[in-house]
Amino acid sequence: MNQYILEIIYLIASVTFVVGLKMLSEPQSARRGNLWAAFGMTIAIVGTIFLYQSKDPNTQTSRETIKLAFIFAGIGLGTIIGWATAKKVKMTAMPELVSLFNGMGGACAALISLLEFHHNVGHPERISVIMAGMIIGSVSFSGSIIAFMKLNGTLNKSYRLPNYNIINTLLMIVTIGAGVWLTVSGSDSMSMLLLVFGLSILYGVSFVVPIGGADMPVVISLLNSFTGLAAAFGGFLYGNQVMLTGGILVGSAGTLLTVAMCRAMNRPLYSVIFGAFGESSAAASGVSSTGGSIKDISISDTAVLMNYSKKVVIVPGYGLAVAQAQHVIHELEELLEERGVEVKYAIHPVAGRMPGHMNVLLAESNVDYGKLAEMDEINPEFASTDVVLVVGANDVVNPAAKTDPSSPIYGMPILDVENAKHIIVNKRSMNAGYAGIENMLFYDPKTSMLFGDAKDALTKLVAELKTM
């Protein structure tokens, strides 16, 4: 009887996962979608603890010997740590928190495989599932930790060994080969199992370390799909429908998001993994290689220009997140709207360091979701825009993506800000973006450079506007 009730609980939980994922697709319903999915996971966990009965006599455990105290202690400790971390972390640090939590999911899947290995020796079909879950989960864990370290500044550089692509490929082949040998040989060697585990951890590190920070949104999505896939293998192993459903949903969503972001960059996934950008770096000076020059603009002139505009489009980038200027830019938006200026935000799919980074950042400052426009929606409007304010964005507004076939970003869809009547770019310096190339937008006659920290410059701009 208990088993039938548990199956119904799993079905309900699976439905809440699907409903929650659907609701996450809209900013207005995302919070409720997250709560629905959390509710489904909660009832699945509680149902498993009290109603699960193993079908395998080798793993059957009597009610009296179940260490519920340890189970609830683990749940309680994890809940407290997760809650405290989520409450403490600022929205600007959300990318690294997502990476950390994703890594914990991968570690969980890998540990399940390690614990179940000896119980299933002699069953190649089950060992194959265990090996797949352990390898993928371990790669996701170590890769996510490296991504976390890159995003929080612990690892500031992308380290590339000579012929690192060949090294990574050989490491992957050896890891998979060792896993296949354990599967077909029927060996119960703990040393061999730990070798596969160690190689998987090492591959996750070597896989992510060479990848630059600007590609982190794609990497996070890819690692997220790995974690989902590893969880799905755990569902296969235990015959657990809710683990299987949740893993498939996470894996497929992560994969689709990875593909979508690669398309937004007009780059195949292998070019992200093997590092097509950042091989060389060319810092720009005040004069371009084509002989153009830049012109700067003062805070007061910027305020006058924006004050007498009818339509202003703000393009946020990673620099906005670094400066934590999301609240002051919302204040600027409200101030302009009080004066009858139409204000929108142009969001590029890969702006920032995680999928939806700019959306999350602006949501923290209570920017109306209706004012956030995706690339395809906003591009036709730039021609009728009086002023575009670019804050901390670089490669996603570089016209070289459309005009220079030799550019490493050629073909990448960008925001067509060059079509606006006036462009103001806020940057700390003239340093090149992650692609390591000059941004020809800066030398456009319609472009003016507002140098300085984003938060400081925008605060002064707001103060200047208030005097008008």
Residues marked as catalytic = 395
Within 10 angstroms of residue 260's Cβ, the number of other Cβ atoms is 14
Residue 423 is inside which H or E element, if any? strand 422-427
User: CB–CB of 127/245 below 8 Å?
Assistant: no
Residues across the chain: 468
Q: Which of 296, 371, 366 is nearest to 341 (CA)?
A: 371
User: CB–CB of 291/444 below 8 Å?
Assistant: no
Cβ neighbours for 160, distance < 8 A, ≥ 6 positions apart: 209, 210, 275
Tokens 């220009």, residue? 305
Say how many CA atoms lie within 13 Å of 290 toward its Cβ. 12
Q: Give helix then strand counts, H and E, for the chain.
A: 17, 6
Helix (H, G, I), strand (E, B) or coil at 347: strand
Give pairs for 95-99: CB < 8 Å, separation 24+.
95/151, 95/216, 95/220, 95/352, 95/353, 95/354, 95/357, 96/147, 96/148, 96/151, 96/152, 98/220, 98/354, 99/144, 99/145, 99/147, 99/148, 99/151, 99/220, 99/223, 99/354
* CA dist., res. 145 & res. 147, Å (int): 5
Say which amino acid occupies 396: V
Within 10 angstroms of residue 231's Cβ, the number of other Cβ atoms is 28
Residue 342 is inside which H or E element, if any? strand 342-347
